[in-house]
Structure 1
Amino acid sequence: MTASPKSRRRVLVGVSAVATVSLGVGVAAGTRITSPEDAAAKTAAPKASQITVPVEKKALSSKVVGRGDASFDGAVNIRVETSGLTTAPIVTGKVPAVGSTLTEGKALLEITGRPVIGLAGVLPMYRTLSPGGKGPDVLQLEQTLDRLGFDPGDVDSEYDSDTAEAVERLYEKAGYDAPVADERLTEAVDAAKKTVDQAKNALRQAKAALKQAKAAKSPDTSVQQGAVDDAEENLNDAQDALNEAEFKAGTPLPVSEIVYVKTLPRRVDDVKVERGGTVNGVVMSASGASLVVTLKVDAQTAERLKAGMAATLDLGDGTAVAAKVKRVTRNGDQYDVVVAPNKLTARQLTLLRDANVRVTIPVKSTSGKVLAVPVAAVSSGSDGGSRVEVLRDGKVELVPVKVGLSADGYAQVTPTGDVKLSEGDQVVVGR
């Protein structure tokens, strides 16, 4: 059967509508289809841009920062040489308490009822000193006596009568009787005195005989005069012998009654003896009366430090104490840096004692404010010189610089080429 014209028109309209819809679907689908190249382009990272920071004008300071332990300075062990004693070295008194202060010229301890007086000196007491003795230990003693105001006469290397009298004054000031000479020396003095008395008596008799001969108008008195001359000479010899005996019997300084310590006063850290006990070796340990902080550094850091440098101690309560480097000494593979506070209040002393504190020691600093950039902004050129990259109007310019002090992540820079560098310029630190 043949379709009518009307039916054919309906079919054409339907086909046309389907085609139109299909075309729209195809166009819509086409907008959602992406090629591999387009997809890669859309997912790739954006082109890198420079990361910049401004050039600053600031003061730079390089410093050593570490933690150190507080202690009293210079601990030493104190020994008493008791070999000169004829009895057992029994401690009889003056035992110091831990924390007390040892003062120069005062008794540190009593052994067999006699004082052990502390004096400042580097040469240890190794023998008993007495009149007639000579040596460097005598010189140290006289220097000490002179410094303490006891007037030992000529400060030389000879222990004379003036030295002995100064030693007497030292003991008197310390509150003790001066030491006495050995019994044999005092016996020699007594014997010399008897000889002098005998010589004086002989001279009196000789003079009396001469006078009697002259009174009798004896024609020859030469024998009597000779006897007087001999008696006078004997008396002079006896008097010289007495003077020598008395000199040797002058006040000695027993080896067991003096202890030299490098510096005084000092603080008692530990006591090794007790009253009634026997001395055997170290009697006590003592440190300096001043509190210091010691931090350990490596050799490279130690090279940057020296005595006299200013420092700061952080007490941990928000306060800081001004200090100075006292000394830098090697200790095995490391170095000990000893820092002493300039001045401490009673409260600060309490906080610092036996504490571990932060120590800051400025090593170098610029003279006022300088141009500074982050260390990351400085690079090396092909010629080996330093440079920074400055971003100006979207373009990067290379500026040759001389690098100065580096501290806290910043470096001091000074432009060396024709291109200027100013505060606020943007330098590249990364991309």
Structure 2
Amino acid sequence: MGTRRTVGVVAGALAVGTVAAAVTAFNLPDPDDSPRSTGGTPAATAEITKQTLVDRESHDGVLAHGDSTTISSRGSGTITALPAEGTTISRGKAIFRLDDKPVTLLYGSLPPYRTLKTGVKGADVKQFEQNLWALGYRGFTPDSTYSWATASVVKDWQDDLGIRETGMVEPGQIVYADGRVRVDSLSLQRGAVVGPGTEIEQVTGTSPLATVVLDASSGRLAKQGAAVRIELSEGKVVPGKIEKVATIVTKADDGQSNTTKFQATIGFDDDVKSQGMAAVSVAFTAGRRPNVLAVPVAALVALAEGGYGVQLVEAGGTRFVAVETGLFADGKVEITGSGLEAGMKVAMPS
């Protein structure tokens, strides 16, 4: 993964080297001495502003549809129909057909593991009944008991599917997912003979997601719920939020230390279209300083005795003021110094 910084962060002994191209050395008086004024007005000036500085650290990522999930057959037979890759399948629709009978997608986290029939009770019954209700079937109460009323409604559902009306639901008739799915890839072709456990297809969620793998040194950026900015391949920048952070530990060979990385999965606030995998750049917030005084980095001048200053432009001339630098971001730098206020003008060295 490539990494780039939108601006350089200056600290300690690295400060002079980082901004050397942006400053000019002046032999200024000690900050404790009275400031020295100079005549003339600089050709270019900038205003001291009060603002929130945000330092962003960008990392390369991939736009896709998130991790894939395997759909396997729970029954035996011949695959007679498969969806096309890229197809979106919603609740109540066939995710594939086995012996020309639909295997229906429903929503839920508990996989089917037993036959549902009159008298059966449990969380799996409630999950199934809630799906029937969401599909518009009535005449029963969605609860944890598979009653005669449930069986009657199931017969209506089976009739609509074009399958035998038994009033019972076999595990191989249904598949559960968290929501709508997108068919990412097919594992076999129509006409294949399968048994229980045979992989049929790979599915993902329907919303595009960006994933970024960060080295351990940048792991601090991967905070669930944190806001980020994503630059798409066409140059458009959209907001997003980290939805999930996973730790990836790679075991090393020959007794070396294991490598730890962090995978951030990012959702989008805006509607983002994706036809396939694409490269993106994700800007994480590395630092944030609200309500600080800031000037363009190029306004800094290096003091011969060390540190930095700005050339303050006033009526009748200019004077130099020593400053302490803080966060660097988006071409600006946080400054503090004696008597400095927002709205003052500083010289921009040519």
User: TM-score higher than 0.5 here?
Assistant: yes
State the match for 2:293 in structure 1: 370
Which of 197, 209, 215 does residue 292 from structure 1 map onto?
Answer: 209
Which residue identity is paired with 1:61?
V
Q: Please give the per-residue CA displacement for 1:192-226, whole angstroms capped at 9, x wherever unaligned.
A: xxxxxxxxxxxxxxxxxxxxxxxxxxxxxxxxxxx
Distance 1:404 1:170, change over 3 A: farther
SS of equivalent to 1:303:
helix
Corresponding position: 1:349 with 2:342: no
Q: Distance in 1 between matches of 2:153 and 2:106?
A: 14
Q: Distance in 2 between matches of 1:391 and 1:342?
A: 43
Q: Distance in 1 between matches of 2:339 and 2:248?
A: 49
Distance 1:375 1:336, change over 3 A: farther
Which of 138, 158, 168 does residue 151 from structure 1 map onto?
Answer: 138
State the match for 1:198 in structure 2: none
Corresponding position: 1:254 with 2:162: no
Which residue identity is paired with 1:255?
P
Which residue identity is paired with 2:179?
L
Distance 1:375 1:259, change over 3 A: farther
- Select between 356-365 and 140-149 the one with higher mean Cα deviation: 356-365
State the match for 2:73 in structure 1: 80
Corresponding position: 1:337 with 2:264: yes
Which runs of 5 or more structure 1 residues have no equivalent in the other structure?
1-47, 83-88, 181-250, 380-386
Computing the radius of gyration from Cα coordinates, the structure with the larger value is 1
Corresponding position: 1:177 with 2:163: yes
Equivalent runs, 1:24-423 vs 2, <5 Å: 49-50=26-27, 56-57=48-49, 59=51, 60-82=53-75, 89-151=76-138, 153-173=140-160, 175-180=161-166, 251-261=167-177, 263-280=178-195, 281-299=198-216, 301-332=218-249, 333-344=260-271, 349-350=274-275, 353-362=276-285, 365-367=288-290, 370-372=293-295, 374=297, 405-408=327-330, 410-415=332-337, 419-422=338-341, 423=344
Question: Is 2:231–2:238's contact at 8 Å kept on the other side of the alignment?
Answer: yes
Distance 1:305 1:92, change over 3 A: closer
Distance 1:373 1:100, change over 3 A: closer
Question: Is 2:182–2:205's contact at 8 Å kept on the other side of the alignment?
Answer: yes
Which residue identity is paired with 2:49?
K
Alpha-carbon RMSD = 3.8
Question: Is 1:146–1:152's contact at 8 Å kept on the other side of the alignment?
Answer: no
Which residue identity is paired with 2:329?
A
Distance 1:92 1:304, change over 3 A: closer
Question: Is 2:79–2:193's contact at 8 Å kept on the other side of the alignment?
Answer: no
Q: Distance in 2 between matches of 1:142 and 1:50?
A: 81
Question: Is 1:302–1:328's contact at 8 Å kept on the other side of the alignment?
Answer: no
Distance 1:396 1:286, change over 3 A: same
Identity between Structure 1 and Structure 2 (%): 26
Deviation, structure 1 residue 367: 4.7
Deviation, structure 1 residue 304: 3.7
SS of equivalent to 2:127:
helix
Q: Distance in 2 between matches of 1:363 and 1:148?
A: 46
Q: Please give the per-residue CA displacement for 1:92-114, whole angstroms capped at 9, x wherever unaligned.
A: 42212212222211111222332
- Select between 365-374 and 321-330 the one with higher mean Cα deviation: 365-374
Deviation, structure 1 residue 308: 4.6
Deviation, structure 1 residue 258: 1.0
Q: Distance in 2 between matches of 1:391 and 1:99?
A: 61
TM (normalized to structure 1)?
0.56
Deviation, structure 1 residue 285: 0.6
- Aligned pair count reads 287
Q: Quick check: which one's strand share is greater?
A: 2
TM (normalized to structure 2)?
0.67
Distance 1:108 1:51, change over 3 A: farther
Q: Distance in 2 between matches of 1:328 and 1:100?
A: 28
Distance 1:107 1:144, change over 3 A: same
Which runs of 5 or more structure 2 residues have no equivalent in the other structure?
1-24, 30-44, 250-259
Which residue identity is paired with 1:339?
I
Distance 1:110 1:143, change over 3 A: same
Which residue identity is paired with 1:126?
Y
Question: Is 2:229–2:237's contact at 8 Å kept on the other side of the alignment?
Answer: yes
Distance 1:309 1:375, change over 3 A: farther
Q: Distance in 2 between matches of 1:296 and 1:323?
A: 16
Deviation, structure 1 residue 374: 4.8
Q: Distance in 1 between matches of 2:133 and 2:216?
A: 42
Question: Is 1:68–1:357's contact at 8 Å kept on the other side of the alignment?
Answer: yes
